[in-house]
Structure 1
Amino acid sequence: MHQPPHGPAGPPGQWPAGAPGGGHAAAPARKRRGVPVWAMLLVVAVVAMASAGVGGAVSASLVGNEPPEPQGSNALNNEVPSDVPSRAPDTIAGVAQRVSPSVVSIRSASPQTGGNGSGFVIEGDYVVTNNHVVDAVERTGIEVVYSDGHVSKAEVVGAAASSDLAVLRLADPLDVEPLEFGDSDEVTVGDTVIAIGAPLGLEGTVTSGIVSALNRPVTVGESGQEAYISAIQTDAAINPGNSGGPLVNEQGMVIGVNSAIATMGSLSGEQTGSIGLGFAIPSNQASRVVEQLIETGEAPHAVIGAVIDLQYREQGALILEERENGGDTIVRGGPADQAGLRPGDVIVEFDGTPVRDGNQLVTLIHTKAPGDRVEIRYERNGEEHTTVMVLGSSND
């Protein structure tokens, strides 16, 4: 499962943004500007596994209002353990005391399989975590460990590699208060956040920080299993083992699902610890995907039906003019085709957001749902055009 990390520009190749079953193809080589050595070593890694035997490095493209009010009565209703001093609910300690019982560690049922990830309990005794956490341990059986040491077997309800999210059902759940999703659209840079999980297998670890940035285009996963996330960036310490755990606000609402970190990795691709650059899947995207997984076991993601050249270095996202295998770069009858887009067009704005490059476009697409109508601004032969596109759907 290990994969050599790529630099901040992301992996070479094209993203088949619409054709089911399409894979990454090698794009024509283009001359690149030189970058400093430190930039070449900056990689984003999934943070699920603490052992060298499970998990791995991943590629990445690094290219908010008042804090949200509580949206329900259950977010902080777990009782504080009797053997610790109670803290006010609106403090970091108070949030951690009341949220931690609903945060779990996820591991393999086999003692021969090392590593761990994190997750959190939501309504109906379901546990939310990352797809890459589940993918690493599912074949040997999954165990969920509560903060008090209680262990329950778990089965996968559904998983979506394209969103790096998965839902488990517990066989022997404890009576803990489910955590609730907050509104990630109300999050702003500078908000206080708290990360809870099991870094390096250390269950119940609490770290805090702030929201450092929003809408970071981050690619998580190995070739063919990439998730494109418009992530919440935080400086709260996140390390291998934190993946799938909650990033909560000062009200104890989940505003993100921790998924990846940037590290100053070695040239061999070895993982290192937190340098204050963590990335979480926004709660609004996570809650939508989780609901779909619970209802159907699947969560189709939005597509535009065009192959984007991820090596294009000018402003915007270029629709590839031709593929090496001779296949079409725009799916006939697909969203891009129906919207009037053609090979060689450069998409410069997506639903009101300027597009810097292909990786950003893909993450923007993944923030939408299939069937959404979006306005596209694009350039063709030096002239600018605007069209409306209805996004397609794919499980790939």
Structure 2
Amino acid sequence: MGSVRRRVFPISLTRAIDPPREKPHPHEDCVSNTWNKIPMQTPQTDWQPTRTRHTRFVMGLFVGVVASVGGMFVADRIATNPDTAEQAVPTLPEPPASFVSSEDVDATRRTAIVQAVESVSPAVVTISVTQLRRERVVTPFNDPMWQFFFPDLGREFIRKVNSMGSGFIVSEDGLIVTNEHVIRGASEIVVNLPDGRSFNGEVFGEPDAQTDLAIIKIEGDDLPVAPLGRSDDLMIGEWAIAIGNPFGYLIRDAHPTVTVGVISALNRDFAASTANDRSYRDMIQTDASINPGNSGGPLINSEGYVIGVNTFIFSQSGGSQGIGFAIPVRRVRMIIDDILRYGEVRHNFWTGIHIQDVTRWIAESLSLPSDRGAIISDVDAGSPGEKAGLRRGDVIIAVGRKRVASARDVREEFVGAVVGQQIPLTVIRGGNEMTVTMTLEELPSERR
């Protein structure tokens, strides 16, 4: 036994082997490495290490195969189980119904503007217009000699032009108000509603170029209507909401665009000479954005009533710069009424008064404070002027709210007026100012 212990547990290759002893040391069963203090293991015979490596290789291979088969089985179960597959895909949490649950805060979102838009926007339509324009080929050979040999050089041709504007339904039977310049020269009109319906439109009555207003008629059921309000009691600074379809060709749906501003000014007048011979009187100015395609759409207040028709803007770039103008609804009502009753707007009125400029000599002889205004030189018998109480020698210094400086100013104030319209006139008579109201009448047939 002693010889076996000394052979199996060598202490070190560099230390001598102790001489044999007759009796075993009491601690000979435990031998330690005096250099590194690591307990030594019992060495195996020459064939044992080879057998251990082979066994470990086989066992590792077996474990790997089992793990692979198990992984494939688990993956197949996950793929074939819908519930498990859905859980495996990461998802974002759903947003809460409201970040703040207070009903008071939620109510503040539904402002007067939101409710006004919800009330009117279903009645705002997109108007697509096709025009046929006659054009002539322009060439450098516009000479009779060239045209004799080449007659096709100066020929005319018809070109289709598509344009788009806005409008709004004012009656359940399909009457739509828009601008005259939106449908001018139209050969085909298509009206698209926000709910997706589309109708062929027809011009109703005679469009009025002077006031830039027109009516279109469509045939449909359950048509939404935009309620007409009043423009006489508007206040500068109150909310103004423009609804329409700007740049309609770039947006592939018929839902209108809403822009919000305030009423910037009231009773803006533009001379016919600067407005393409149109009569833009008492216009509403707003800073709500109005862009190409908005023409004919409604301008509404925070109560949800139409107060005007968006018509034009001042712009250097062609886009909105916060200076837009709308025809007041008071005039719109008057024009619609004329078209519905007579098929046209009756501008063939007469006043029966004859006016001329106030010269300095006239001003001095009548003791007038200035030579501004227009003096009445004659009044026709039985005329609207006579019925209003106007007399020869009265000096007109204001038409409505507009002060006038000459007879031309007075005439311009009557441009666009219609039969039945009431015109307030401020005159000086005997050194005193007074206001009279003249109701325009249709021009008698014997005076035409």
Work out whether the TM-score is over 0.5. Answer: yes
Alpha-carbon distance in 2 for matches of 1:249, 1:223: 26
Does 2:281 correspond to 1:229? Answer: yes
Alpha-carbon distance in 2 for matches of 1:104, 1:161: 21
Preserved contact between residue 210 and residue 416 of structure 2 (Cα < 8 Å): no
Per the alignment, do residues 163 and 357 of structure 1 end up closer, same or farther by CA in structure 2, a change over 3 Å counting? Answer: farther
Amino acid of the structure 1 residue aligned with 2:166: S
Does 2:282 correspond to 1:254? Answer: no
Match of 1:183 in 2: 230
Preserved contact between residue 165 and residue 182 of structure 2 (Cα < 8 Å): yes
Alpha-carbon distance in 2 for matches of 1:240, 1:319: 43
Q: CA deviation at 1:126?
A: 0.7
Which structure is richer in relative contact order (CA contacts within 8 A, separation 6 or more)?
1
Does 2:265 correspond to 1:244? Answer: no
Per the alignment, do residues 393 and 261 of structure 1 end up closer, same or farther by CA in structure 2, a change over 3 Å counting? Answer: farther
Preserved contact between residue 308 and residue 317 of structure 1 (Cα < 8 Å): no
Q: CA deviation at 1:206?
A: 1.1
Per the alignment, do residues 145 and 373 of structure 1 end up closer, same or farther by CA in structure 2, a change over 3 Å counting? Answer: closer
Structure with the bigger percentage of helix = 2
Preserved contact between residue 226 and residue 305 of structure 2 (Cα < 8 Å): yes
Per the alignment, do residues 147 and 285 of structure 1 end up closer, same or farther by CA in structure 2, a change over 3 Å counting? Answer: same
Per-residue deviation, residues 125-174 of structure 1 (Å, max 9, x unmatched): 11011122222x42x12111222443211111122223221111114x36
Alpha-carbon distance in 2 for matches of 1:147, 1:315: 56
Alpha-carbon distance in 2 for matches of 1:87, 1:100: 21
Residue aligned with 1:376, SS: strand
Per-residue deviation, residues 73-123 of structure 1 (Å, max 9, x unmatched): xxxxxxxxxxxx999664433432342221111121469212211100111
Match of 1:122 in 2: 170
Match of 1:370 in 2: 419
Per the alignment, do residues 365 and 249 of structure 1 end up closer, same or farther by CA in structure 2, a change over 3 Å counting? Answer: same
Corresponding residue to 2:328 among 264, 282, 285: 282
Preserved contact between residue 106 and residue 143 of structure 1 (Cα < 8 Å): yes
Match of 2:183 in 1: 134
Corresponding residue to 1:146 among 175, 188, 193: 193
Does 2:355 correspond to 1:355? Answer: no
Amino acid of the structure 2 residue aligned with 1:133: V
Corresponding residue to 1:263 among 315, 320, 323: 315
Amino acid of the structure 2 residue aligned with 1:246: P
Give TM-score, length-normalised by structure 2.
0.54
RMSD: 4.1
Q: CA deviation at 1:372?
A: 5.3
Alpha-carbon distance in 2 for matches of 1:316, 1:228: 23
Q: CA deviation at 1:257?
A: 0.8
Match of 1:218 in 2: 270
Per the alignment, do residues 364 and 222 of structure 1 end up closer, same or farther by CA in structure 2, a change over 3 Å counting? Answer: closer
Amino acid of the structure 2 residue aligned with 1:229: R
Per-residue deviation, residues 305-330 of structure 1 (Å, max 9, x unmatched): 668899x9x98554799xxxxxxx99
Residue aligned with 1:185, SS: coil
Match of 2:144 in 1: none
Preserved contact between residue 376 and residue 392 of structure 2 (Cα < 8 Å): no
Q: Structure 1 stretch 182-191 or stretch 90-99: which is displaced more?
A: 90-99
Does 2:240 correspond to 1:193? Answer: yes
Number of residue pairs the alignment of both structures matches: 291
Alpha-carbon distance in 1 for matches of 2:236, 2:325: 13
Percent identical residues: 33
Preserved contact between residue 376 and residue 389 of structure 1 (Cα < 8 Å): yes
Per the alignment, do residues 281 and 372 of structure 1 end up closer, same or farther by CA in structure 2, a change over 3 Å counting? Answer: closer
Q: Structure 1 stretch 185-194 or stretch 197-206: which is displaced more?
A: 197-206
Alpha-carbon distance in 2 for matches of 1:106, 1:303: 36
Amino acid of the structure 1 residue aligned with 2:344: E
Preserved contact between residue 126 and residue 169 of structure 1 (Cα < 8 Å): yes
Per-residue deviation, residues 299-358 of structure 1 (Å, max 9, x unmatched): 224664668899x9x98554799xxxxxxx998975457765679x7521235x351457
Superposition map of 1:44-123 within 5 A: 90-109=111-130, 112-123=160-171
Match of 2:215 in 1: 167
Per the alignment, do residues 330 and 295 of structure 1 end up closer, same or farther by CA in structure 2, a change over 3 Å counting? Answer: same
Q: CA deviation at 1:292?
A: 2.3
Per the alignment, do residues 376 and 187 of structure 1 end up closer, same or farther by CA in structure 2, a change over 3 Å counting? Answer: closer
Per-residue deviation, residues 271-306 of structure 1 (Å, max 9, x unmatched): 622211111111122122212212321222466466
Give TM-score, length-normalised by structure 1.
0.60
Per the alignment, do residues 212 and 224 of structure 1 end up closer, same or farther by CA in structure 2, a change over 3 Å counting? Answer: closer
Corresponding residue to 1:272 among 318, 334, 337: 318
Structure 2's unaligned 5+ residue stretches are 1-105, 133-159, 360-369
Amino acid of the structure 2 residue aligned with 1:285: R
Residue aligned with 1:275, SS: coil
Superposition map of 1:33-44 within 5 A: none
Match of 2:89 in 1: none
Q: CA deviation at 1:232?
A: 1.0
Residue aligned with 2:336, SS: helix
Superposition map of 1:196-207 within 5 A: 196-201=243-248, 202=251, 204-207=256-259
Amino acid of the structure 1 residue aligned with 2:338: Q
Amino acid of the structure 2 residue aligned with 1:205: T
Residue aligned with 1:295, SS: helix
Preserved contact between residue 355 and residue 361 of structure 1 (Cα < 8 Å): no
Per the alignment, do residues 148 and 361 of structure 1 end up closer, same or farther by CA in structure 2, a change over 3 Å counting? Answer: farther
